[in-house]
Structure 1
Amino acid sequence: MTCKLLVIDNYDSFTFNLVQMFRSYDLAISVLRADSLSVEDALRLQPDYVLVSPGPKSPATAGISTELIRRGQGEFPILGVCLGMQCMNEAFGGRTVRAPLPMHGKTSAVHHDGEGLFAGVPQPFTVARYHSLAITGISEKLRVNARSADGVPMAVQHAHHPLFGVQFHPESFLTEHGFTLVENFLRSGPLRGSLS
């Protein structure tokens, strides 16, 4: 069964690498710029999954990203990567602030709760970080389920819906177990039965 993945591209050079990861699965992939369509346009596409990409700026300049996450909760699984996670946090009332240290092309050990995206992922594992912003004021609708050694939230998960955000880049060759994270995301939707 081919499912539809809608990728909301926030003008990031990493978007293509993320898309390449998802091409390994039975997905029809549409990549649309975050400022090229309305939320209504996106919902009319009836995606089975949504990926909100990284981007070089902030949630304020991420087109429909934040509003699509807010309106799409409970409709389809959503994965927000880097800027996408910041948009997810803001969709539920959180804020985005400067990170304690800019982390561009740096690796960190991440500790996680072993649930959701992190099922079957060793503890800790190494991730690649490319960000100078971080989330704060996190809503009780989201829970932080992974942190770096310096205490920065590295992942969030919605309390009731299959909404997942990661601050790091699963597509980077510096990140361990990237495909496990992607498959765990896909298991939260209609492809769950076709993944071993």
Structure 2
Amino acid sequence: MRTWQYILRASLVYKWPLIAHAILNISISVTLPTLIALTQRSVFDSLTGHATAWFGIWELIGILVAFGVVATLQHTGSVVSYYYGAFNVRALLQRNIFAYIMSLPGYRALPHSSGEAVNRFRDDVQLIHDYLEDISNLLANGLLAVVGVVIMARISASLTFTVFVPLALIIVVAFYVRGVISRAR
């Protein structure tokens, strides 16, 4: 079995905490900041007299306070779901590793030092869960980038183009140079 297949199977065992954490992570990283930014824009528009919202300044401030309360609840739920999923996935992986070691004959149980076995139990299991967390963060940050580009394009398409074309060129050049450097080693 390949590593990615094992990680996928391990994540499916405790999928609901991981899914809950991913949803909360996306809502914390994308939805809430976008709503707060749009509300702040309405606050500043109402101060200048160019308001498109029918709310007054105090209602908008109340909405921002409510967003703060929601953000606190979302962070709390995200932390709870993260640690619930993390501890359960780690415990499952450690139990499976230990069961495998105990199923081997005594002379083959630990082919390397006992310190390496301890590292496998502690560090490798942690890295697998961190990998699952990184996937969630990548999805959230990618969605935030898409939402940001859409909002920027609605404000000024030429400014968005001016900002993102050099950024895209830098990314392409960096990937090319990384390949050249790794071939030269």
Taking structure 2 as the reference length, the TM-score comes to: 0.20
Query: Which structure has the highest helix share of the two?
Result: 2
Query: Which structure has the highest strand share of the two?
Result: 1
Larger Rg: 2
